[in-house]
C-alpha cells in the first residue's frame, strides 16, 4: 500500500510542524536575545518554581482529560478563541513575573489542553477512549527540534518511543480503574515524563518574560507563541495518528523518514 498524494502532502505538512525548531527559537527571534542569555536573567530558585508549577499544571490537565474530554463534539478546532484566552492569561502572568507562574500556568495549560482536544477531534480521534486522552497529554512533551538534535533522527518519533510504554500503561490503568486511583504509579510515571519535557518549554517562556523590556504586553505575545507552538505540535501529531490508523504505523514512519 502507498499513500495517496493528498495524504502524502498532509504528512509533509505534519513533519514540517513537528520538526521545525521549537518555542525557544521563535522567542529568540522576538526578543533579539539568545535563549541562554535570557535564562541567566532568572533568579536562582526559578527551577523549583517551574518544576512545581509544571507538575501542578499537568496534574490538572490529567484530571480534566480523564473527566471532561470527549463529552461533546465540535466539527472544527477553535484555535483563535483559545489563543485569545491564553493571551489574556499571559498579560496577567507577565505583569507578575516569576511569582505569577504558579497561578497562570495551570490556567494556560488547561486552555491549551482544550485546544489540543479540539484539534484531536478534527483529525478523527475518539476522545472518550483512554488512548486518545493520553495522546492529548503527550502533546505537552513535544518540543520540536533543537539546534543540538541529530538531523538523521526524528525528534518527534524519539519522544513518542520514549513515552510509548508509559502511555500504554496509563491508558490500560484508566480503562480498568478509571479515576479510582489518580495517584497510581502508571499515571504518576507518565506525568513525570511529560513534566520533564514540558518544563523545558515553560522555562523558555518564563525566561522571555523575565527580559526587562517584555512586561505584561510582551507576556501576552509570548503566551500566544506558547499556545501556537503546542497547536502546531497537536496538528502534526494527530495528523500522523490519523494516517497511522488509515495505513499502518510502520508505513507512515517509513514515509515520514523519506520526506
Local confidence pLDDT in tens for the 259 residues of the chain: 799 999 999 999 999 999 988 888 888 877 778 888 888 888 888 889 899 999 999 998 888 888 877 655 555 555 565 555 555 554 444 445 566 677 788 888 888 888 898 899 999 999 989 999 999 999 999 986 655 555 556 789 999 999 999 999 999 998 888 765 556 889 999 999 999 999 999 988 888 877 766 655 566 778 788 888 999 999 999 999 999 999 999 999 999 999 9
Those residues with Cβ within 8 angstroms of residue 144's Cβ, 6 or more apart along the chain or in another chain: 18, 19, 20, 21, 22, 23, 25, 155, 229, 232, 233
Burial class (CB in 10 A: 0-12, 13-18, 19+), 235: buried
pLDDT of residue 134: 94
Indicate the SS3 state at residue 145. strand
pLDDT of residue 108: 83
Does residue 71 lie within any of the structural domains? yes
Is there a contact between 106 and 150 (Cβ–Cβ < 8 Å)? no
pLDDT of residue 207: 83
Based on the structure, what is the number of domains in the chain? 1
Domain residues for 224?
A: 20-238
CA–CA separation, 226 vs 115, rounded Å? Answer: 12
CA–CA separation, 21 vs 66, rounded Å? Answer: 31
> How many separate helices (H) and strands (E) can be counted in the chain?
11, 0
Does residue 249 lie within any of the structural domains? no
All cell numbers assigned to 168:
500504554
Does residue 208 lie within any of the structural domains? yes
Is there a contact between 222 and 30 (Cβ–Cβ < 8 Å)? yes
Does residue 152 lie within any of the structural domains? yes
Number of CB atoms found within 10 A of residue 173's CB: 18
Does residue 195 lie within any of the structural domains? yes
pLDDT of residue 97: 56
> How far is the CA of 119 from the CAs of 112, 143, 146, 208, 230, in angstroms?
11, 17, 24, 27, 11
All cell numbers assigned to 101:
507562574
Does residue 122 lie within any of the structural domains? yes
Does residue 103 lie within any of the structural domains? yes
All cell numbers assigned to 117:
482536544
Those residues with Cβ within 8 angstroms of residue 254's Cβ, 6 or more apart along the chain or in another chain: none
pLDDT of residue 104: 80
- Name the one residue in this structure whose C-alpha cell is 522555562: 203
DSSP one-letter string for 3-36: --HHHHHHHHHHHHHHHSB-HHHHHHHHHTS-HH
Residue 171 half-sphere exposure toward CB, CA atoms < 13 A: 18
pLDDT of residue 4: 96
Amino acid at each position: 500500500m502507498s499513500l495517496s498524494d493528498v495524504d502524502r502532502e498532509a504528512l509533509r505538512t505534519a513533519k514540517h510542524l513537528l520538526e521545525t525548531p521549537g518555542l525557544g527559537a521563535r522567542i529568540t527571534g522576538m526578543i533579539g536575545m539568545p535563549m541562554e542569555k535570557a535564562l541567566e536573567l532568572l533568579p536562582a530558585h526559578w527551577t523549583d518554581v517551574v518544576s512545581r508549577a509544571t507538575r501542578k499544571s499537568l496534574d490538572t490537565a490529567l484530571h480534566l482529560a480523564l473527566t471532561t474530554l470527549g463529552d461533546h463534539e465540535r466539527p472544527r478546532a477553535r484555535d483563535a478563541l483559545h489563543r485569545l484566552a491564553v493571551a489574556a492569561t499571559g498579560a496577567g502572568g507577565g505583569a507578575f513575573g516569576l511569582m505569577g507562574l504558579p497561578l497562570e500556568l495551570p490556567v494556560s495549560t488547561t486552555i491549551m489542553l482544550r485546544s489540543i482536544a479540539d484539534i484531536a477531534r478534527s483529525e478523527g480521534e475518539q476522545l472518550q477512549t483512554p488512548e486518545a486522552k493520553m495522546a492529548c497529554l503527550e502533546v505537552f512533551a513535544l518540543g520540536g527540534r533543537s539546534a543540538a538534535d541529530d538531523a538523521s533522527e526524528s525528534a518527534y518519533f524519539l519522544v513518542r518511543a520514549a513515552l510509548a510504554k508509559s502511555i500504554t500503561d496509563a491508558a490500560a490503568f484508566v480503562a480498568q480503574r478509571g479515576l479510582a486511583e489518580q495517584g497510581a504509579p502508571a499515571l504518576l510515571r507518565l506525568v513525570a515524563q511529560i513534566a520533564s519535557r514540558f518544563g523545558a518549554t515553560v522555562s523558555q517562556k518564563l525566561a522571555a518574560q523575565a527580559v526587562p523590556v517584555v512586561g505584561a504586553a510582551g507576556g501576552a505575545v509570548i503566551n500566544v507563541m506558547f499556545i501556537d507552538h503546542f497547536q502546531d505540535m497537536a496538528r502534526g501529531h494527530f495528523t500522523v495518528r490519523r494516517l497511522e490508523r488509515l495505513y499502518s504505523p510502520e508505513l507512515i514512519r517509513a514515509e515520514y523518514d523519506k520526506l
